[in-house]
Structure 1
Amino acid sequence: MSSPRPRIVFGLMPWPERQAIASALRTETVGGLVLLAAAVIALIWANSPLGDVYESIRDFHFGIPALGLDLSVGHWTADGLLAVFFLVAGIELKRELVVGELRTPATAALPVIAALCGMAVPAALYAATAWAGGGSLAGWAVPMATDIAFALAVVDDLGAILIIAVFFTSDLNLWVLGGAFAGLALFYLLQRLRVRGWGWNVPLGIAIWALMYNGGVHATVAGVAMGLILRTTRDKGETVSPASRVSHLLHPFSAGVAVPLFALFAAGVTISGPALAEVFTSPEPLGIVLGLVVGKVIGIFLGTYLAARYTKAQLNPDLAWADVLGLSVLAGIGFTVALLIGELAFPGQTVGEHAKAAVLIASVTAAVLAAVLLRRRNTLYKRLYEEENLDADADGIPDIYQREEMDRPAAQHR
């Protein structure tokens, strides 16, 4: 009996997973540009003579007070619109668990180990910096987030979701929270009974979100829970699963509207000489910068090395450890979720503004460093891209997925 083939680290993805990620990246590319524009607008607006107008709009309250939903514009974007972002994240996590890298222990080992190290080391580095400087440990979870689209980030998202659900809850109302879980149970039942239609699911989703918020758990958790419940497998006669259908419809809104609007009202921090100095002299923001720029690199690189050293995983022979280093630096972009956790960790505090500035500075620094490191290997990436997309028989599937001699069993690529 032949021994099992080694798991290739950063090797060829299974074809369904590659299709899904490619589709997501096409949306994320446009969404990322809109997100960047929103962050720049927020910074310029907040530091202009119209900064008081920015604050007035961000802090303006509206909603339905009788239902406990009288929120500011900033909170509506963080608690409301980001629920859509986390719904899409929940669907992505479910897809990874069912058909992606996380579907079996053997394939899940690498991203799980690397992501856990990539969360633990930044958190520990923040805690050490805050403790040494006599600062608050409340922001330990801020530098744990990663805003890039690959399996490590999916595990990272799950960690962030669990942190938000467990550590950032307040004034729990168990009766109302029970209503939210009852709504989730009903949503699960509708999925099992194959009940379709936005007329059922949208009102139920809004009710679950409102109950979760009033129950004391951050409302974005409702989006994740519904994403995990949505069915990712196709029934006979279905062209796409319900999860794929919802993701296809909501992903552009999430990337192009929900996340940029959140950034617009979360990234508007004061930029001045003294404010920037606080980022590098105060323990909390300094810990965030070090956690994202240094901690992520050490954590993910170390986790990947340990997985390749002590498991059956092997680094893709087409790549070098320099590529893993570049990817580890790229993971320091902790924009969306890091800003959200920063708001939760330091609500209404001056240090919270410094924490946001630290996230922005660290994310830009990580992006620039990663661009420099990865650009040096661009010729290699271009060659690999061309090889992996060659479709000589024009059947819509790259030829590399149809070869008999492959590094992994053929079943893993279909």
Structure 2
Amino acid sequence: MRRAAQVWPLRPTARYAAQIAEALRAETLGGVIMLLATVAALIWANVSYESYDSIRTLTLGPAALHLDLELYKWAQNGLLAIFFFIAGLEVKEEFTHGELAVLRKAALPIIAALSGMAVPAAVYLLVTIGAPDAGRGWAIPTATDIAFALAVLAVTASAMPAALRAFLLTCAVVDDLGAITVIALFYTEGLNVPMLLAGAALIALYGVLQARGVTSPWLYVPIALAAWYFVEVSGLHATVAGVALGLLTRCRTRPGESRTPAEAADHRIRPISAGLAVPVFAFLSAGVPLTASAVGAIFSDRVVLGVMAGLVVGKFLGVFGGAWIAVRLGLARLSADLHWRDMAAVSLLGGIGFTVSLLIGDLAYGDDPARADAVTTGVLAASLVSSLLAAALLHFRVRSHAAAAGTSGPGRVPGPMSEQDD
């Protein structure tokens, strides 16, 4: 007899529900701060690009250690390592206590997230066939910015079912893991193997100490900084060190512990990531001069068109289509609290690329400033379009849920499938 498909989302434990709520609060506030930083960067860059660029390209750090980096590179390689450390913690928590603890039960968000990476890449490649240097940018539209997406969801649709926010957060966790894998595999050149091995040894030491129950931050902070340094100078993008350390952080309590090391680290570091690291990166990355040529590139440069089409169209088709296929194949079922129109709205939010899309765009075209600025403009435009479309649809869905709650009882909206549908 065929095993029944899991109704999604599953009911989270009280502990995991509290962690989701904390993550949503931090990421939502971070998204607002990042939006303000982006607007400030755009204003400054268009009032006086020379002064903005002089700050962005200011070189700091000891040359003897190969750390004489421009300020925006410090943001990319240093501050975003903090962001990806938090992403690693989220992935570990999901696999330990969350929706991904039993992969069969997490089929819906996993398939939606993977499809939400593959389809935008395919759309990009289709739009850019024959365009010069287009192959380097295929991964730009595959990423979703969870902070911006959650901020839009919170501002426009706080009354939507919690299941929708859980779906978006779980998809983003899988998306973050996919993004760091893409960066490691496809945007790494000229590896220094001894340095990389030294970094890997330090990361392994961190994991061993975690497994043995060592909790002193005075030991872990130097190990983490040294691991980051060796990965950075090895040629592999330093954000890989961040996510690896997050994945190795222990997520289960030992006798006498009131919270896990992962919870303690998340509590201390998430505010730094959401309130400082990501907004500073956004400020140093989003300042592009919106000249006639830059805006014109949106409509004439097929790489930019491919990025925009991948984010706005590809992300929607990928996330929504992946979820629909998972249900049609019997791998999962939506709960009665959700409707396919809800899934369409949250799928549009997937087109808010921003942070990781800007990072991959610079890795792909950093040696071509004009193309890099055009790609940045395209990412910003696509993220804005996706935000507006999602906000409009979410607004209508909130009204629909409110109307249904008035006739069907609180919180009950007839969905396409319910637990009784077999």
Normalising by structure 1, we get a TM-score of 0.90
Letter in 2 for 1:152: C
Report the counterpart of residue 205 of structure 1 in structure 2. Answer: 224
- Measure how far apart 1:90 and its partner are: 0.3
Whichever residue aligns with residue 22 of structure 1, its letter is: A
1:29: which partner in 2?
Answer: 28
Q: In structure 2, the residue corresponding to 1:268 is in which secondary structure? A: coil
The answer for the alignment partner of 2:42 in structure 1 is: 43
What's the counterpart of residue 215 of structure 1?
234
CA distance in 2, matches of 1:119, 1:243: 27
Q: Is the 8 A contact 1:42 1:268 kept in 2?
A: yes
Cα deviation digits, residues 317-350 of structure 1 (max 9, x gap): 2322111111111111111111111110111311
Match 1:293 to one of 284, 289, 312: 312
Does the Cα contact within 8 Å between 1:10 and 1:316 map onto a contact in 2? yes
Counterpart of 1:391 in structure 2 is none
What is aligned with 1:127?
A: 125
* Residue matched to 1:76: 74
Count matched residues.
388
Cα distance change of structure 1 residues 13 and 367 upon mapping to structure 2, 3 Å threshold: farther
Q: Secondary structure at the match of 1:131?
A: coil
Stretch deviating more after TM superposition (340-349 or 2-11): 2-11
In 1, the alpha carbon distance for the partners of 2:127 and 2:133 equals 8
The equivalent of 2:394 in structure 1 is 374
User: Shift of residue 185 of structure 1?
Assistant: 1.3
Which ranges in structure 1 are unaligned for 5 or more consecutive residues? 389-405, 409-414
> Percent of counterpart pairs with the same letter?
43
Name the SS of the counterpart of 1:8 in structure 2: strand
1:257 is matched with 276
The answer on 1:169 being equivalent to 2:188 is: yes
Matching residue of 1:16: 15
Q: Which residue of 1 aligns with 2:116?
A: 118
- Superimposed CA distance per residue, residues 102-146 of structure 1 (whole angstroms, 9 cap, x where no aligned partner): 111212222221111110110011111111545521100000001
Contact 2:213–2:254, Cα closer than 8 Å, also in 1 = no
The 5-angstrom pairing of residues 4-403 of structure 1 reads 6-10=5-9, 12-48=11-47, 50-134=48-132, 136-148=134-146, 150-349=169-368, 350-379=370-399
Question: What is the rounded CA distance, in whole Å, between the counterparts of 2:296 and 2:333 in structure 1?
Answer: 43
Q: Which runs of 5+ in 2 are unaligned?
A: 147-167, 412-417
Cα RMSD of the aligned pairs, angstroms, is 2.0
Partners of 1:232 and 1:243 within 8 A in 2: yes
Question: CA 1:213–1:381 in structure 2 vs 1: closer, same or farther (change >3 Å)?
Answer: farther
Matches of 2:31 and 2:188, distance apart in 1: 30
Over 3 Å counting, the alpha-carbon distance change for 1:24 and 1:219 in structure 2 is same
Q: Which amino acid aligns with 2:96?
A: V
User: CA separation in 1, counterparts of 2:362 and 2:239?
Assistant: 14
C-alpha offsets along residues 22-78 of structure 1, whole Å, 9 cap, x if unaligned?
111111222111100000000011111x22111111111111111111101000011
Whether the 8 Å contact between 1:147 and 1:333 is mirrored in structure 2 is yes
Residues of 1 paired with 2:218 and 2:16: CA distance?
Answer: 30
